[in-house]
Structure formats: C-alpha cells, structure tokens
Structure 1
Amino acid sequence: MDYRCVQCKFAVKTLFVQYSPGNIRLIKCENCKSVADEYIECEFMILLIDLILHKPKAYRHLLYNVLHQDTLNVEEGLLWKFACGFLLLDAYRFLLLKRNEEEWGSSVKYASSVWICQKMLMDIFFGNFLFFCMFSLSTKNLLNTSVGVSRYKELFLAIFVSSYFKIFLIAMMVWEFPASVIFIIDLFVLSSNIVALKVITESTMSRCVGACLSAHAVKFFASQIMLKVQGS
C-alpha cells in the first residue's frame, strides 16, 4: 500500500530520503508539488493539536502514513489492541456516569458492585455490537464501499483511532466535572469519526455524517433500552 500526500491525497512511494542518521530530506508530491508529509519532522503535540482541530491532513498522516496496511500486517494484533482500548474507555465512561448517579462509591456492597459490573459488560458489548453492525451496514449502503475483510479492517481502525477523544475522560479521575462533559466528549468523538471516515473513504461529508450519526444513534438508544431493562 502506497503512502499518501497529506495535502492532495496523491499516492507516493516514499515520504523521505535518509542520507545519514538524523539527516533526512522530505519528498515532494508529484501532483501538488508540496511536501508530501510535513508531520514527519513535527513534534507529536503539533500533530495532536491538528487532530483536535479536525484537520484532514493530520488524519491522512495518521491513517495512511503511520498506520498503513503494511504496518498492520507486520505488527500482529494491532487492531485488537485498539479495540481493547476502545472498549476499556467505554467501560470507564459507564462507571463515570454511574458515579454521577451515586450508584458507585466507597460504601457500595459487594453484591451491588457485581451487579453494576454485569450491567457495564452488557451495556458495553451489546451497545458496541449494534454500533459496528450499523456502521458496517451504513458504510456499505451510504458510501458504496467494497465489503472485503481488509476494507472493513481499515474502516474499523479509522473509528478506533479517531475515538482518541475518549482519553480525556481520564482527566475526570483527577478533576471533578459535571456529567455534561461526558456527552461533550461524545460529540467530539462523533465529529472525529466523521472526519476519519471521510479521509479513509474519500466520500462526501453528508454521507460520512449519515454513516457515523446513524451508528452512534443506534448505540445511544441501545444503551437507553438496556438501562430500562436492567432497571425494571
């Protein structure tokens, strides 16, 4: 799989030429004549800021030039590691909501804590199962993408990586924030998923919004249904 120019998405064979350790020359894109990927010489914080600002070129650097298909084939289990991190952060989000509802505290009994953990597992796995089922259907119908396993691997990886905003939930372990902050982070995750999907599929923004919004909506309503079932 070729690398991509972060400016115009044109395929390039290599991103830089290394003459000696620490001495490299960035390759220019043959299509737009700009440096193919200037993030190679940038600090990680610059990349993170551009990701937070939802700049498509930052997502192209991350998805095409860092986590490209060759890397996935060499580093076995990378996709599963991202999936585990994705589910763990969802579990932490669930516990934060329960803490704000005063269901989780130092005085919670063992039986109650076990019941809360069971609810958490049911909510996380059932909600995300429906999320990815809906995401697969919507990308197939709205984006007209191929249904090969490798293609779905790229799409799922884009969702896992672009959900990095969930990491900011860890800040709530140190500082007290209202529950509304959790839903603000959810909105940032949704918008980041949309940009990543647009970058990886090169489809229109409206179609990417429809695909991601429908998947997140199904996950939200599934969680609400699970809460009602478990509360009854």
Structure 2
Amino acid sequence: MKYRCVECGFGIKTLFVQYSPGNIRLMKCENCKAVADEYIECERMIILIDLILHKPKAYRHLLHNVLNQGTVKLEGLLWKSTIIFLLLDAYRSLLLQRNEEEQSSSLSFSSLVWRSQQIFLDVLVGNLIFLCVFLLAIRILLNTSVGFSRCGNLLLSILVSSYLKIFLVAMMVWEFPSSVIFIIDLFVLSSNVVALKGQIPSIYFP
C-alpha cells in the first residue's frame, strides 16, 4: 500500500478521487470506516499546529502520506535529516559548555581542540546509546523484529519529529538560561514518542 489512514494506520491505495480541478472526494478507510486523511484539505499552518500539539494523526499524515517513497527520495532525506540532527546536537553541547568558557579567562588552541573533541564524542556516543536503547525498546515492547526498511522509517520518524531542536538557533540571537535547553529536550522527546506511536500501526498492518 502506498498511503495509510491517519486514524488507524491501515494501508490504503489512494487518499482521494479528483473529478475536476478543486473538486475532490476524500476516500474512507476500509478498516475503521473513517476518512483516511482529512489533512489533505487543510492548510500547512493547521498541520504545523497539530504537529506542535503532538497529534498522532498529523504525524501519520506527514510521515506516511507526504514523506513516502512515491513523492520523495527517503534515502536522501534520511541523510539530510541526520546531518541537521547532528549539527543541532553539536550546537546544543556547545551551548551547555558556553558558561564554562565564559568563566575561564582565556582559551588556548589546545583547549579549543579538546572542547571540539569532547563535543564530537558527546554527540556521537549520546546518539549511539539513544538508538540502541530505542531499538531494544521496540523489540521488547512490541515483541517483534523490525526489518531494515521499517527501521529506516522509524529512524526518519525520530529525525523529523526532532524539528523542535530548531529553537536552539534562537539562542544565537537571544540569551536564554541553560534550563531552556532541557525544556526543548523534553519537547523533542515527547514529540519523538508521539511520532513513534503513529508509526506503530504500520508495523502490524500490511
């Protein structure tokens, strides 16, 4: 199946039938009998608001019906999302160390290299541990093995649902206390959970 119902995650061949330009009829899901994807008629701002409000339906629409293999190259999107994700994580580590750098009188070249290596290790080890715990939790909680393609879809769900990390860029312009970083981390983690919750039905449905 190419698309999925945003209500239950069941596979569906098409989301709407177009009779003429601007005249479409939304298809209903065969499993839950509800409209498969009502977000087709919604503006992007409404979808963005629902994503911020952590609605699983909005994540299913984005991940299955917008970012699917028929419309975008998932491999290229996965690599781009990974690079942006790692850069934002590196900037987060840099922000956490900024207070220590301000307290020191001067920074030598060797200390700068040491801090760069420390940031790189923090980002690499932290994300590696997170992915290992994530895959282990899926295997234990769902009691099922996830194939390579579905594992890639789940990884893309995590990367896309971490969009709230972009708010770290605002700290380049305005000064915020370091506690704001941990608040953003909580929002990102909750967004990851909702996105994964929206992906779970696709593991069982064909």
TM-score interval w.r.t. the shorter chain? 0.7 to 0.9
Task: After superposition, give the CA deviation of every residue in 1:124-160 in whole Å (9 maximum; x if it has no partner).
Answer: 1111112112211221122223232112111111111
* Alpha-carbon distance, 1:173 to partner: 1.3
Q: Secondary structure at the match of 2:146?
A: coil
* Superposition deviation, residue 92 in structure 1: 0.9
Matches within 5 A, 1:109-188: 109-188=108-187
- CA 1:27–1:105 in structure 2 vs 1: closer, same or farther (change >3 Å)? farther
Per the alignment, in what secondary structure is the counterpart of residue 123 of structure 1?
A: helix
State the distance in 2 between where 1:22 and 1:107 align.
63
Q: Report sequence identity in percent.
A: 70
Aligned equivalents of 1:31, 1:115: Cα separation in 2: 56
Encode CA deviations 1:92-133: one digit per residue, 9 max, x unaligned: 111111113335999644333222111111111111112112
Partner of 2:13: 13
Deviations 1:171-220 (A, max 9, x none): 111111111110011111111111111111149xxxxxxxxxxxxxxxxx
Corresponding position of 1:227: none
**Cα distance in 2 for residues equivalent to 1:90 and 1:186:** 10
Equivalent residues in 2 for 1:176-215 (5 A)? Answer: 176-202=175-201
Specify the SS of the correspondent of 2:18: strand
2:29 maps to 1:29: yes
Q: Unmatched 5+ residue regions in structure 1?
A: 204-232
Distance 2:87 2:104 in 1: 20
Relative contact order, CA 8 A, sep 6+: which one is greater? 2
Contact kept? 1:99, 1:105, Cα under 8 Å: no
Q: Which runs of 5+ in 2 are unaligned?
A: none
Shift of 1:22: 4.8
SS at match of 2:101: coil
When normalised by structure 2's length, the TM-score is 0.86
- The alignment's TM-score, normalised by the length of structure 1, stands at 0.77
Q: Distance in 1 between matches of 2:105 and 2:175?
A: 17
Whole-Å separation in 1 of the counterparts to 2:105 and 2:37: 50
| Aligned residue pairs, count | 202
- Structure 1's 94 and 111: CA in aligned 2 closer, same or farther, altered over 3 A? same
CA-atom RMSD, angstroms?
2.5
